[in-house]
Amino acid sequence: MPEFSDTPPALPSGESMAEKVYFLVESVPHELLQPGFAFDFMSGGHTVGRCTVIAPSHSG
């Protein structure tokens, strides 16, 4: 499960962008956080949005 932080207010289109996205545990495929990777954002078993990575991940 990814964790989103430093999230600014929604854009006029209703979209949101997060400055940082990271996984809550280390034993996950971090290589998936690459530009173009898209995934459903789930809450309580329901899809509440679609996320697309637009910048590469950076360690640190």
For 35-54, the pLDDT digits (tens) are 898 988 888 899 988 888 88
Distance CA 5, CA 23 (A): 11
Domain span at 49: 31-59
End-to-end CA distance of the chain: 19
Is 41 a domain residue? yes
Is 54 a domain residue? yes
Residue 40 pLDDT: 87
Over residues 14-35, the pLDDT tens digits come to 777 777 777 778 888 888 888 8
Tokens encoding 11: 């854009």
* Domains contained in the chain, number: 1
Strands 38-43, 46-52: pairing is antiparallel
